[in-house]
């Protein structure tokens, strides 16, 4: 029987979204703040944030499936 090794985070344990060296973009006409989370494995994530705080609810977001390469 094999055991799974455990990986323990020992520094920066709360690093949850690496927004590195990207200037966020504000689109006031749409009420959107846009930014990109870094991924050096070719899987960056663009996210759009509603800037109206009354819409900030936990666990409410729409996740879109990756766009197929053939559709590009």
Which residues of this protein are in contact with other proteins, per CB under 8 A? 3, 5-12, 14-28, 30, 32-51, 53, 55-57, 60-67, 69, 71-72
CA distance linking residue 53 with residue 70, whole number of Å: 37
CB 64 within 8 A of CB 46: no
User: Closest approach of Cβ 54 to other proteins, in Å?
Assistant: 9
User: Closest approach of Cβ 14 to other proteins, in Å?
Assistant: 5
User: Closest approach of Cβ 1 to other proteins, in Å?
Assistant: 10
70 CB contacts (<8 Å, ≥6 apart)?
none
């Amino acid at each position: 029987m094999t055991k799974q090794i455990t990986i323990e985070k020992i520094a920066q344990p709360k690093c949850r979204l690496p927004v590195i060296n990207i200037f966020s973009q504000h689109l006031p006409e749409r009420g959107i703040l846009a930014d990109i989370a870094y991924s050096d494995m070719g899987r960056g994530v663009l996210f759009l944030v509603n800037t109206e705080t009354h819409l900030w609810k936990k666990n409410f977001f729409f996740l879109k499936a990756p766009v197929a390469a053939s559709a590009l």
